[in-house]
Amino acid sequence: MCGIVAYIGHKPAKELLVEGLKRMEYRGYDSAGIAVLNGGLRCIRAVGRVAVLEDKLTTVDDLEGTIGIAHTRWATHGEVNEANCHPQQDDKHAIAIIHNGTIENYATLKTYLKGRGHSFTSATDTEVMVMLISELYQGDLEQAVRAALKEIRGAYAIGVICANEPDTLVVARKGSPLIIGVGAGEYVVASDASAIVAHTTQAFSLDDEQVCKITRDGFRTSTLDNIAVTPEVRQLEIDLEQIELGSFDTYMMKEIYEQPERLRLTMKGRIKSRDGQIVLGGVSKFTRELVRARRFVLTGQGTAYHAAMLGEYLFEDLAKVPAKVEYASEFRYRNPIIVDGTVLVAVSQSGETADTLAALHEAKERGALTLGVVNVVGSSITRETDAGVYLRVGPEIGVASTKAFTGQVAVLTMLALYMGRRRYMSVEACADLLSQFERVPEMIEKTLEQNDHILDVTKKYVDQENWLFLGRGYNYPAALEGALKLKEISYIHAEGMPAAEMKHGPIALIHDGMPVVFIANQGPQYDKVMLNIEQVKSRGGRIIAVATEGDKQIETIADDVFYVPHIADPLSPLLTVVPLQLMACHAAMLRGHDVDKPRNLAKSVTVE
């Protein structure tokens, strides 16, 4: 969730590090800091945005070194103040560290270190790490880091420098992402490729419990037991154009509008609609196991959980295989039953979500076949699953996920059809769905044409503090996603639920003027949804409906309507969610909020 960037080379480190921090601002943070070696260790930290740190740096001299580390912190241990900012440092050996993750046994280690004469100025687990490295330091920073990490329990991605070794940067990871960009006589290390791509397109990822010592002449990667390993240097999948705003004011709006083109890339080479075929190279080695699977468990958090819910519906409906969706954070601690023939599907944009990784590890330990539905190439989930399918939607900068959600749903749809065709579905039935599926991008483009109308409707209700989002069948998860989008960026309280569940208690919340968003497309449960609308309308609720083009009946009862093209019900959430994304984005901007950096949230949640 925090951002790490480190540099060693021949360029001034300060500007490069600050630029890297700016590129990772979307990840979520509350403070920032930088440390540079220039004849000694200089560390500057500030509470607030990177711009606050940047202003502070203009008043500081002696920051012209060519090796340094920088960090944006999202508080886990200790409140948000300068003392708890990163980098944390030890004065005895002039060692500084940046750290993502959480150390579970930090309290025990802190007691030990206090007994050894160390004094602490922060409440962070990170300061414990740097003090432990200092305690073990005997002139070899790499060895001290390796020895310290053997005593630590928890998750970490770290960068460490020491004034006594001004030509050495040591980095390591376990359970938190870290990428090393390889340039000509220079190296850029970051927790996100966006901080690297401006300087080099060649990079490699560290695996868990690996340490890398970097100098200007090269690098050496090894395990905690000092066994050398050879990483695979690969081409980064992103470029600068993908992470720039272009003509848009916010990344979220840009990414909403990118969905048609990105879904075309998601489908490219994977669909043969005339033949009723799906081609998924990432899972082809396990086709037999997937077709014969007795049970699927889909897991994720937040938006990925809502996509996984749709996966549950799709697998049972289209592939006729038992499926269950689980919150990843609950799965690990629930002593889940994994029977022979179970497949776990881990859904994540970043591929680094800590809870989802933990669920994946638990399922693998119990013998499940594991699949990843992930956006980021080379991420932890992609490396630790047996197989998987990439989303191909490109980097998602906005904290509130949009194109990743539709990408996840599209991939899960293809997986369901991939199995369904091999289990029971006829060529004709599969071909019909695929031909409609291929038209989803152009249907989304048509839906986006209503943006101005959606803005006008949002203005009518933006001051209301309580909203309901209701849907049935496939569009119940879409209603949950609409509610999540609204509350996470506009800070309006919103609940999503099945439309029928509203009668069993939540109807008591309905009051005169309350906005209630119904997904009322013309699917199998259309008549039931219309009855639910009548029940809300009679109690004074204001109805905002997402309906199918040509539906005149909905206009007689709804206060406002957003239309989507007609499509088969299993594919409808790919369309109905789009007006809800736009409405949430407009609501946040109308209320004056930072759409791309909502308070208290991080893009990639790499701590439990």
**What residues contact 508, with CB distance under 8 A and at least 6 apart?**
none
The values of phi and psi at residue 218, to 5°, are 160, -170
Q: Are 355 and 366 in contact (CB under 8 A)?
A: no
H helices then E strands: how many in the chain? Answer: 18, 27
Q: Which of 110, 254, 487, 603 is catalytic?
A: 603
Cα separation, 289 vs 353, in Å, equals: 26
- Look at residues 468, 545, 479 and name the one whose alpha carbon lies nearest to residue 309: 479
Quote the CA–CA distance of 55 and 110 in Å, as a whole number.
34
Taking the chain, what is the end-to-end CA distance rounded to the nearest angstrom?
A: 11
**Do 549 and 567 meet the contact criterion of CB atoms below 8 Å apart?**
no
Sheet strand arrangement including 342-348: 323-327, 295-300, 342-348, 369-374, 387-390
Short-list 327, 320, 362, 363, CA closest to 343? 363
- Residue 293: C-alpha distances to residues 289, 296, 363, 520 (Å): 6, 7, 15, 34
How far is Cα of residue 599 from the mean position of the Cα atoms in its chain?
16
Any catalytic annotation for residue 430?
A: no
Rounded to whole angstroms, the Cα distance separating 36 from 96 reads: 9
367: Cα separation from own chain's centroid: 26
The Cα 562–Cα 548 span in angstroms is: 8
State the helix-helix crossing angle for 251-267 and 403-423, rounded to 10 degrees: 20
The verdict on whether 56 is a catalytic residue reads no
H or E stretch at 418: helix 403-423
Catalytic-role residue among 2, 43, 85, 585: 2
Peptide bond into 87 cis (omega under 30): yes
- With vertex at residue 150, the alpha carbon angle to CA 149 and CA 154, rounded to the nearest 5 degrees, is 65
Per the CB < 8 A criterion, the answer to whether 17 and 7 are in contact is yes
List the beta bridge partners of residue 362: none
| Residues in Cβ contact with 330 at an 8 Å cutoff, skipping those fewer than 6 apart | none
CA R_g for the chain: 25
List, as one string, the DSSP characters of 227-262: -EE----EE-S--GGGGS-TT-SSHHHHHHHHHHHH
| Strand residue runs (E) in 20-124 | 31-37, 41-47, 67-73, 88-90, 95-100
**Other CB atoms within 10 A of residue 119 CB:** 8
Does the CA dihedral 461-462-464-469 come out positive or negative? positive
Three-class SS of residue 570? helix
Bridge-based pairing state of the strands 169-174 and 210-215: antiparallel
Q: How many residues does the chain have?
A: 608
Largest separation between any pair of C-alpha atoms in the chain: 79
Distance CA 199, CA 388 (A): 30
Residue written as token pair 């101005």? 452
Q: Hey, which residues are catalytic here? A: 2, 603
